[in-house]
Amino acid sequence: MTGNISRNGEGAAGAPAEVTRALDGLMAEVRAFQSGISSKLKQQEDRMAMLLQKSTAAAGRPVLSAQSDAGAPHRKAFAAYLRTGDDDALRGLSLEEKGLSTAVAADGGFLVAPEIADRIQSVLRSTASLRSVANVVNVEATSYDVIVDRTELGSGWATETAAAAETATPVIERISIRLHELSAMPKASQRLLDDAAFDVEGWLAERIANRFTRAEAAAFVSGDGVDKPKGFLAYPKVADGSWAWGSLGYVATGAAGDFNATKPSDALVDLVYALNADYRANAVFVMNSKTTGAVRKMKDADGRFLWSDGLTNGEPARLLGYPVLVAEDMPDIAANAYAVAFGDFRAGYTIAERPDLRVLRDPFSAKPHVLFYASKRVGGDVSDFAAIKLLKFALS
């Protein structure tokens, strides 16, 4: 009896160990099964993502992304504000989602939807204005300072025992570019805004871009600097042989209001080599369409045209091997006119702007129309007077 009880006790005591081993084996199998399922799901997700990217690319549509989904509430809220003036959703976004840049401006209005701002900026960059060749910087302040070292550091040769002579000290120039407010005020009828088929965002972007482009292009060339950017033609002009900092040097064509009758292209060659070699590497010609029509007829002594069109789509035409920017705000050929500019405008002219664009909806001032007051801040000024030369249509 005693022996049986002992064997039964050992059996009872060993049972939990067998159960534990069985449970451990079962859990290992479950974990392996879960791992296999997760791996298969991940593979399926990767395949679906690849298929989605291929289908959207083939259809010419933008690839879906989390970023575009995040901006969807802002697009809907901004469209509602433009159509009906309902700003509750925009105010909620500005409080809850700071990253969407929907803050209310201090002087009223809302920042435009990011995709509208991008569309406007792309139009500004693609148009034939100085913006496409100048140095463009984004700032958050009301002005932008350019520091220019406009002299060379002095140097000299010295013998081993002679005292070293003092050399010239460089001159540091500070150019402050103030930002000015550029505005546009397109209007639309409320009935048109109520039409769901009307693309109010696209219409607004196009109208603002057209207005801003024309105003900017004119100011960058000839603006007087009073509540607007200062254009490079607004500065004093002197013969290149008498050039000094603060003015632009010019080369004369040798004929009043025209190119020289016998050697018309010589003035262009003189203009190119009036510019320092360091600037010529990135230099461009700037002229309007009428001047372009006169220049592209010129030939060299062998009968070859000095003008050559771009070989690929989007490549600028070239004159004497240098790109040409056709800017309609440049003056026409006339007596004493500075109708052609040549220089490294990325070094010579700086455009400073705030990256945001604000829109204020006004449904009261022009009933039954709704006004949209759009504004941005931009400034421009010459940042290196040695980097730009002008062609003067005069005897001297």
pLDDT digits (tens, 9 = 90+) for 188-231: 887 777 776 667 777 777 888 888 888 999 999 999 999 999 99
pLDDT at 358: 80
Determine phi and psi for 304, rounding to 5 degrees.
-90, 140
SS3 state at 338: strand
Q: Which two tokens stand for residue 160?
A: 């081993």
**298 Cβ contact partners less than 8 Å away, ≥ 6 residues apart:** 259, 264, 265, 268, 305, 306, 307
CA distance 38 to 58: 30
Share of the chain above pLDDT 90, in %: 35
What is the band of 292 on the pLDDT scale with cuts at 50, 70, 90?
A: very high
Average the pLDDT over 324-346 and give the result.
94
CA distance 54 to 319: 43
Average the pLDDT over 135-156 and give the result.
80
Pick from 182, 158, 153: which is nearest to 170 by CA?
153
Pick from 155, 136, 154: which is nearest to 146 by CA?
136
357: Cα separation from own chain's centroid: 13
> SS3 sequence, 209-233?
HHHHHHHHHHHHHHCECCCCCECHH
CA distance 376 to 359: 9
pLDDT higher than 90, residue 14: no
Q: What is the Cα Rg of the chain in Å? A: 34
CA distance 349 to 279: 13
More confidently predicted of 142 and 333: 333
Q: What is the DSSP letter of 172?
A: E
pLDDT at 363: 83
Using left for φ > 0, alpha for ψ between -120 and 50, and beta otherwise, residue 70 falls in alpha
pLDDT higher than 60, residue 7: no
Highest mean pLDDT among 92-106, 148-162, 172-186, 240-254: 240-254
